[in-house]
Chains A and B, each alone.
Chain A
Amino acid sequence: MLLLQVIVGGLLLGAIYALFSSGLTLIWGMMNVINFAHGEFVMLGMYVALLVVVWIGGGPETFGFAAAFALFALGVCVYLSLIRHVMRGPMLAQILSTFGLALLLRYTAFWIFSANFVSLPQTSFSGTLNVAGILLPVPQLVAGVVAAALTIALHLLLTRTTLGSQLLAVAEDRSASMLMGIRPDRMQAIAWGLAGASAGIAGALMAMSYPWSPSVGETFGLTAFVVVTLGGFGSVPGAMYAGLIIGLVQALSAYWLGPIYKDIIVYALFAALLWLRPQGLMGKA
């Protein structure tokens, strides 16, 4: 029974990993840019949730949407003011600019919110469900299920809608898409917005169960890279599977072997998988 409990916990956390990693993979898929500030987007999502709860009140639906909108806007701004320009520069400039952005966001957060750990006040979503002996903390359950649903929704948006086709067209061939009357700038700004929104909601969802400080983005950024590489760069379903796998492997290895081994196991597995399948689980070779 305890084992089942561990598995459920791992999968719920994995679903959140999947959600924020899908934003990172989307940006890579669209324009081959690695966003080192992605973890910081997640961190800002957490603070937006906190500010909304403190100032306005309301449950996860309120602060989840607020975080999504705020980070969508931030994503678009980052694209328009920074990425669009450095895209014309060398690869190194792109990498360093997002890295610089990460530091800027992190230390701005330190300045505004101070270094103290904060956590969300108890919301209406608290308590624990007992389903056939398995304890499901409501905040984690809601977070995991919502994250999984949103990741699937993002996948459907990309594959089943006109907007998705337009985004993919720009990713495939920028010039050809321009000939078809698609504005690449607008599409790429939307992609950054979606990436920001996914990170923002993921942050808001995690804020319900975890305390955090401005340096939390580092941990999430690293996790997102592992998930994206494992799932295959540019693949949202890949990020989904990889997120769940990593959540599960972390939980199981922490339970069986002890918590200090969980990252060793994750990275060993990660290296082995890359050796066998360098393009990742769902990436194109």
Chain B
Amino acid sequence: MAGKPRNRQAAVADAGLAKMNDGRERREDKLSKLCATLVAAVAAALSAAPLRAAEAVKIGVLMPLTGNAAAAGQASKAAVEIAAEIVNGKHPELGNLPLATTEGLPNVGVAKVELVFVDHQGNPSLAQQLATRLITQDKVQALLGAYQSSCSFTATAVAERYGIPFLVGDSAALNITGRGFKWVFRTTPIASDYAATYMRFFDDMKKEGKKIASIAVVNENTDYGTSVADSIEAAAKTSNMPVAIRIPYSASSTDVSAQVLQLKEKQPDVTIFISYTSDSILYIKGMKNLDYLPPMVIGDDTGFSDPSFIPAVADIAQGAMNRSAWDIGKPGTTTSKINDMYKAKTGRDLDDTSGRNMQGFFALAEAINRAGSTEPEKIRETLTRTDLKPDQLMMGYNGIKFDQTGQNILASTYLIQLKGKQYQLVWPQKAATASLDWPMKGWKH
């Protein structure tokens, strides 16, 4: 090693210093250089940190980006990203949509919105941990999420504990609001709204002379499915609609033929599926394989709205119904323009689930801007005073206005029907763009 001089220190050594000393000095020199670099880095980080915080408003987004519901999570992620682009950039073409025409959040020093995505994989305990991390480490000013009701349930509890506003864009289980929480707000319609919608629809159908003697409810057995199915059962009871059978099952099933056979035995006139993605596809395929086609199948959004659903089973699920608060609308409308942006990014039309998350983001951003501050308490307080009109929304709600529990009291939904490779709005009649086919044709077309 000690031979030819290779650097400045070595040259100095050659000039007279002892070799031993040289070695030590070299180490010391290195050490001091390292220290200097570290100090500089820390100083830079410290000086940069508060600057950045003032520049961007951080919103943590919890979604299942892998796992069973990954397709829906990824679709929602893309939708929220576009919503952030709309808020951060200038989009005068989007009419009344809040924050579209201006750049960033004008009242918060034209701050840009920065999204921090985390993947909870559909696991409620992971959602809880990640919510904690977003608040304590990433220092987000608000949270949005989390697709699965079970995950929203645990993650919102964390937000409540730390005092950070949490906007629930699309989880439908009743128990997410109504726990006396102050920090949780939900824009989407909830289980009881959906149940009431279905009953109104059945009444309309009966008035038109369709036979609906009994219904069946098939639900995945976590918070989402159980909550919606409970609400449907309760609503059916009050409107004297017999529930022939209720089948709870686990969404990770690989085989559902036994359940299809149970349905076949009971012969309900309408079967409502409260299902996630792979299970929805399995049910439709299983029904065809076992040659069982009920007069009508209604999917409670979610799996039936998943981007994988139509390519997989459109041919054999003709006429299947689904609920949706999203309608692309005619070319040139705000919704259609938003859909174009989404399609350019993902290659697909925007779906209801992703749309509801996007709407949740807009409501949150609008409140932060109105608060004129990134202080959590101010944002929370402004959220309670939110009052958005239908023409300021991209979804078909009657508006956004939160009650004491944080639930949007103006949330509502449409019913849509699969025709060809697209869903079309068929109910309520006053909003319908296509006529309803009853019974459904399934694979017999």
Contact = CB atoms under 8 A, between A and B. Distances in A.
Nearest to B279: A211
Contacts of A262: 258
A6 B221 contact: no
Interface of A: 2, 5-6, 9, 13, 107, 110, 114-119, 122, 128, 135, 137, 140, 206, 209-216, 219-220, 250-252, 254-255, 258-260, 262-263
B47 interface: no
Query: What size tier do the contact residues of chain B reach?
Result: 35 or more
8 closest residue pairs by CB, A with B: A115-B70, A259-B249, A254-B258, A137-B289, A117-B308, A255-B258, A116-B71, A211-B281
Nearest to B259: A259
Given A211-B308, A219-B254, 14 more contacts: A13-B254, A116-B70, A116-B308, A117-B71, A117-B278, A137-B289, A210-B278, A213-B68, A215-B66, A251-B258, A252-B258, A254-B255, A259-B258, A262-B258
Contacts of B37: none
Nearest to B121: A215
Given A118-B308, A211-B312, A260 B250 contact: yes
Interface string B55-80: 00000000001111011011000000
A110 B71 CA distance: 11
Contacts of B433: none
A149 B159 CA distance: 56
B291 A115 contact: no
A145 B347 CA distance: 40
B139 interface: no
Contacts of A115: 65-67, 70-71, 73-74
Given A2-B261, A115-B65, A258-B248, A211 B278 contact: yes
Given A116-B70, A211-B278, A211-B281, A140 B289 contact: yes
A9 B258 contact: yes
Given A5-B290, A13-B255, A211-B282, A117 B306 contact: yes
B258 A6 contact: yes
A71 to B, nearest CB: 19
B278 A2 contact: no
A118 to B, nearest CB: 7
A258 B218 CA distance: 11
Interface string B95-107: 0000000000000
Given A119-B312, A259-B247, A215 B67 contact: yes
A270 B71 CA distance: 34
Given A2-B264, A137-B289, A260 B68 contact: no
Contact of B74 (A114, A122, A258): A114
A254 B259 CA distance: 7
A137 B257 CA distance: 11
Interface in B239-257: 247-250, 252-257
B422 interface: no
A27 B261 CA distance: 38
A213 B70 contact: yes
A117 B312 contact: yes
Contacts of B306: 117
B396 interface: no
A120 B267 CA distance: 30
A210 B74 contact: no
A6 B261 contact: yes
B67 A5 contact: no
Contact of B290 (A107, A119, A135): A135
A263 B307 CA distance: 29
